[in-house]
Structure 1
Amino acid sequence: MPTRLLLLLCLTAHVFAREPPEVDCLVVHRKYVHCSWNKQGTPEVNYTFYSRFQPDKFSECSKYLRENNINTGCEQPYQTGQRFRSFNTKLVHGNQIYQKELELKTKVKLNPPTNVTVQRGSDSNLWLNWSQDYVKCVESEVRYRVNNRKWENNHVSTAMQDYCVNLPSSSSIYELQVRSRLAIYCGESVFWSDWSQPVVWGSNNSTDAKTNKSTSEWTPVLYVVAAFILILLVMLLLHHERIRIIFIPVVPKPSSDLHNIEDWFQFPKGLKESFTYNEHPCLVREYCHVSQSDSEAGSVFMPGNESDLSTSCSSSTSTVSTEEEMVSV
């Protein structure tokens, strides 16, 4: 029985034994090394932390990070180039010692860019500018969105500290952010910095938008003034040049009977009277051959015929004269 109880206690102790804390370290902005050992939760005991870059000696942490009076991390000074060497850590609590070797070459996290500004340039494009240390070794990434839509990410070349958004719309709102990391030329890091504070440009807070807003307030007034000036100019032109506006009626579709011109056109009263003709009809006589005997007989005129000859037109007169000439012959 005692043997079974002892075995049970050993198995239970093995199951409930806590795993050693895992140490994780990161070079922050190439200024210091940040290490933590609270990924599995806050430790139950305070560990003493030692670290070194080979081949240096171990040294105890100079600045502990604490939660509820329990050590959970450490910040160690860093010198340029040390991240290319192996980094050794050691956690100690009584007789418990946990050691770990880390490679920090790719574990560098920069601080977010500072002095982030956005403005519209003289080329009508939107320019984002920022500041970041170690310019020659840093590459950046910009993201922006329009009117709170989906973010659009764009890579910026190394050593560049500006970004251009081509021909932005003044009626839209642009929100922009930037982040950085060490480029491949200086030992590329797998960690990007946090995103910078967003900067906003658009119709609500830009200088251009304010100008457009003030202009839009004056637009109705400008329209009224322009309309008044136009009407005044037309009145002056009509007065001085005596321009008459004549409204021409629509010409109706011609009817199939084109003989009556009055039905085709709608003439004004005065114009219609000018087309009225009151001339007397002319008598036209046909020419015919007569024999000599008939002509001699017909050469005797009756007294009653004189009135008829006097009322005939010139055409009939010329015809009769021709007949008399032929009779005389």
Structure 2
Amino acid sequence: MECRWNHIDGEANNTLFYRYTSNPMMECRKYIQENGYNVGCYFSKDKIVEFENFHIYINGSSDAAVLINTFQLQNQVKLYPPTNMTLNMTENNELLLSWETPAKLLKCRMYEIRHRNNKNKDWQVQVITAQTKFVLSSVDPKKFYTFQVRSKINQYCANTKLWSEWSSAIQWGKDPIQSGKIHENYYLFAFLLALGLLIIVLSLLKFKRIYRSSHCQWKFLKGSNEKQ
């Protein structure tokens, strides 16, 4: 866990003290620093206690420290985004989106799925709880679909509004932009190939005319010499 704050140039270096309701006050053991100033504190896993008030104090000694805030740490959890997403088309013309998430806190997670297609740029949003799959019905094979997923702790395990970052996008269908580029590249390649062949043919014709002209001139000169 990280607890961060802003440091203003010219101000004294801040120190952080903390305590749980059932424990005495302690100073941060591992500060996060930038340019020689404390801008945060890192708490290892063994220092984190959930479902108990966590009090944060800033500045000076433990006697002079000022209470900044009180938290329930389970409400401050920001999850990592889902990973290993896959898309599969079912026999019922549906797209099945699935992803992976750590087994820990699986029942405490909820997910927000957003999707759109190249014909409708507005995101369509769905929220589900304790599942790692989503089904989109009535898929149009002529459209290009994009999906993303994010997650957070659900209301049964904590009271938080902290969503994870969005996952990497996963897509299905033929990308019309890429298809257009492929066609453009194909036409360009065909044009350059035809132009190259035309240049070769013209070069051969020119060479043939030069050859015939020089050959006739040689025969004419040869006949003249024989008469002399």
Distance 2:47 2:88 in 1: 36
Residues 198-217 of structure 1: matches in 2 within 5 Å? 198-204=169-175
Q: 1:69 aligns with which of 25, 30, 36?
A: 36
The question of whether the paired residues in 1 share the 8 Å contact of 2:17 and 2:65 is answered with no
**Higher strand content, 1 or 2:** 2
Deviation at 1:81, TM superposition (A): 8.3
Say if 2:125 is the partner of 1:153. Answer: yes
Q: For residues 123 and 41 of structure 1, do their structure 2 counterparts lie closer, same or farther at Cα, with a shift above 3 Å needed?
A: farther
Distance 2:51 2:10 in 1: 30
Distance 1:92 1:145 in 2: 49
Return the index of the structure with the highest Cα Rg.
Answer: 1
Deviation at 1:177, TM superposition (A): 0.7
The question of whether the paired residues in 2 share the 8 Å contact of 1:43 and 1:70 is answered with no
Q: 1:183 aligns with which of 154, 168, 186?
A: 154
Residue equivalent to 1:123: 92
Q: 2:54 aligns with which of 68, 87, 91?
A: 87
Q: 2:14 aligns with which of 47, 70, 73?
A: 47
Q: For residues 43 and 78 of structure 1, do their structure 2 counterparts lie closer, same or farther at Cα, with a shift above 3 Å needed?
A: farther
Q: Which has the higher contact order (CA 8 A, sep 6+)?
A: 2
Residue equivalent to 2:133: 162
Q: 1:132 aligns with which of 90, 93, 101?
A: 101
Letter aligned with residue 125 of structure 2:
N
Alignment gaps of 5+ in structure 1: 1-31, 210-329
Moved more, 62-71 or 135-144: 62-71
Residue equivalent to 1:173: 144
Residue equivalent to 1:99: 67
Distance 1:127 1:43 in 2: 56
Q: For residues 137 and 123 of structure 1, do their structure 2 counterparts lie closer, same or farther at Cα, with a shift above 3 Å needed?
A: same
Percent of matched pairs sharing the same residue: 30
Deviation at 1:42, TM superposition (A): 6.0
Q: For residues 66 and 121 of structure 1, do their structure 2 counterparts lie closer, same or farther at Cα, with a shift above 3 Å needed?
A: farther
Say if 2:78 is the partner of 1:109. Answer: yes
Moved more, 90-99 or 167-176: 90-99
The question of whether the paired residues in 2 share the 8 Å contact of 1:51 and 1:61 is answered with yes
Residue equivalent to 1:269: none
Output the aligned Cα RMSD. Answer: 2.8
Residue equivalent to 1:141: 112
Distance 1:120 1:41 in 2: 54
Deviation at 1:96, TM superposition (A): 5.5
Deviation at 1:41, TM superposition (A): 4.8
The question of whether the paired residues in 2 share the 8 Å contact of 1:46 and 1:93 is answered with no
Deviation at 1:103, TM superposition (A): 2.2
Q: Please give the TM-score of this superposition, normalised by the length of structure 2.
A: 0.65
The question of whether the paired residues in 2 share the 8 Å contact of 1:35 and 1:75 is answered with yes
Q: For residues 74 and 154 of structure 1, do their structure 2 counterparts lie closer, same or farther at Cα, with a shift above 3 Å needed?
A: same
Distance 2:15 2:106 in 1: 37
Question: 1:29-84: CA deviations, max 9, x gaps?
Answer: xxx3x21221x756733222222222123333233222222211112134598231
Distance 2:17 2:37 in 1: 16
The question of whether the paired residues in 2 share the 8 Å contact of 1:112 and 1:193 is answered with yes
Distance 2:155 2:24 in 1: 30
Q: Please give the TM-score of this superposition, normalised by the length of structure 1.
A: 0.47
Distance 2:45 2:23 in 1: 13
